[in-house]
Amino acid sequence: MKNGFLISSVLIVLAAFQAAAQGPEVLIPAPAEVTMNEGSYKFEEDPQITFVSRPQGDMPEESYILSVNARKGVTIIYSDASGQYYALRTLDQMTAGGTIRELPCCEIYDYPRFPYRGLHVDVSRHFRSIDFLKKQIDAMAMFKMNRMHIHLTDAAGWRMQIDAYPLLTGLAAWRPERLWKDWWAGERRYVPEGTPEAYGGYYTKEQMRGLVDYAAQRHIEIIPEIEMPGHSEEVIAAYPHLGCAGEAYRQGEFCIGNEDVFRFVETVLDEVMEVFPSEYVHIGGDEADKRHWKTCRKCQQRMKEEGLKDVDELQSYMIRRISRYVESKGRKIIGWDEILDGGLAEDATVMSWRGTEGGIAAMKMGHDVIMPPGRYCYLDHTQDAPFKEPESIGGYLPLDTVYVYEPLEPSMPLDKKHHLLGLQANLWSEYIPDDEHAEYMYWPRAMAVAETGWSQPENKDLMDFRRRAVMASDRMRSLGYNVFDLENEYGERKLSRMPAEHKAKGCKVLYNKPIQKQYPASGETTFTDGIMGGWTYSDGKWQGFLTDIDVTIDLGSVMPVHYVGGTFMQLKGPGVFMPEKVEIHISSGGVTFTPLAEVWNDVSTEIPDLLFRSFDTVCDVRTRYVRFCARRSTMRGFLFLDEIIVN
């Protein structure tokens, strides 16, 4: 013992894995504190590292101090095994995997901002190989991420061996179509294992235990997700008595009035918890179609017996009951923010994906929260201009938008902020069939999530992060990763980068139909604020409607008008379509309107690509009021409009 610290010296052969540069300026995530000193330390072969273990409580969990001294070499003081491991990951980056032989003298004191820094993998829609999962675990470790959330079950396929229910992998893990979108557009059936050309797969318990061990060696915990009560079509296809109808292919929700459902879920969770030692088990809880429960005799009887007033409370009954069961095994549940509906289980942790409102509400109630809001953390959205990127579900989420997300919002009560455990990058794989494509969607955007989760907000700098991300991306490519080319990024839609100048800019707009609350953009100023929409309907510039659009613009006085037009977008995947037609009317007094033009749509609803089309007219009139009416198509999806140009 020396100065109260346990000291040991070992020779470390650095793994050839990290970014290429020789000082703290290359690090992702950015460390908490860095002090640069005079001189440098040069080593001939492997550096001599002195490890010092601090007594528990002297330093935060997962923390370390890394010192480089010209005479003493490298010293690492660490709080726990994770802190020691992360110090070595830092040293790995600074030495570019051992290829750089000289380090500047410095001292780095580092610790994480949040305890939960997660990456989500959807293996249900498209199965992922064990090698792929291990490869992403390696990358997570590089950037000090510590939770891998695996979405093991969903309608598209069950992916884990369950001994008590062999049909989950014997039938529900296989489908005729390889691509999810073809399966979803077809009959959505399953086929027995061994069927020629069947697509699917599952993990044996032995494989999952091996993956858990592999991750644990890199200080990453794997959190399994077993969906309930919705997204369970594959389960009910294999075991039809678990649905309200008692038949396969009739619904995707468990029958909560059926005790067999709880026997099934508890048995499955027992086998899952036997394999995964994680603190948490994710139970889903999202997007359940609750209409079946309203007419199900067993569900209605359950509601009567338990005094439940509606089907929201019926779902909550199931979540609470499963939560108690999981807690009896010494674990905790996580659920998507829909588990708030009908009342939240006492010790449930909420994963807030539909924005952050659900998470904030849960925090105020005293619940722990993890933030993966879709607008900032859903990596299934394209990361560059859609015309140059692989097919995706739609939306546009560049690295910059991911990076600027601040999880601790001003509306969060300060006395509850300890309930914010961290954040997570989510990648749903409906349109991502291949491992290489999935990897491309993760990196480098997941680096931004890693830095937000680890680094103190005052140490974040977007432009500096982009510089470091380019270097880290180059290093990852040299190690065989398929990484997005950040240096040659096209960027946002050009029209949205500059204000639109026209006669209606700043003019008052009268809405003859209410604004859709889900996509309000800038409210009643949206169509005349001079701001054009970008690549995605969720960027706050496009206003969305589930009704016809009917607005009147007041130009302030009668004036000559030669052009009226508005641009709409179409993206088939999420149900965004062009209007059937646009009608444009004019009026000098605002009471009686005269038809000016009728512009019909000529864009097919079957085109899967992101499209923009201007519905406009060239004219020669004098008017004060312009009425712009967009009629929804028979597809009944969303209409999105950004700016109505009048010149």
Place of tokens 């013992």: 1
Closest C-alpha among 468, 355, 342 to residue 409: 355
Among 61, 259, 287, 485, which one carries the catalytic annotation?
Answer: 287
User: Can you say whether the dihedral through the CA atoms of 71, 72, 74, 77 is positive or negative?
Assistant: negative
Helices (H), 347-414: 357-364, 374-377, 399-404
* Alpha carbons within 13 A on the beta-carbon side of 245: 12
* Strand duo 508-511 + 611-631: pairing: unpaired
> How does DSSP assign 53-108, residue by residue?
EPPTTSS-TT-EEEEEETTTEEEEEESSHHHHHHHHHHHHHHTTTTT--EEEEEEE
Please state, in angstroms and rounded to a whole number, the distance separating the CA atoms of residues 16 and 3.
Answer: 34
Which of 231, 282, 367, 502 does the annotation list as catalytic?
Answer: 231
**Cα–Cα distance for residue pair 300/314, rounded to 1 Å:** 9
Residue 23 tokens, joined: 């000082």
3-state secondary structure of 112: coil
Do 140 and 148 form a contact (C-beta atoms < 8 A)? yes
Distance CA 353, CA 289 (A): 18
Residues 239/264, Cβ–Cβ less than 8 Å: yes
CA distances from 136 to 84, 150, 206, 440 (A): 21, 12, 19, 11
Angle CA(207)–CA(208)–CA(210) in degrees, nearest 5? 65
Q: Which of 154, 384, 430, 529 is catalytic?
A: 154
Cβ atoms of 226 and 219 closer than 8 Å: no
Report the alpha-carbon distance of residue 373 to residue 337 in Å, rounded: 10
Active site residue 562: no
Active site residue 287: yes
Q: Are strands 639-646 and 611-631 parallel, antiparallel or unpaired?
A: unpaired
Active-site residue list: 154, 231, 287
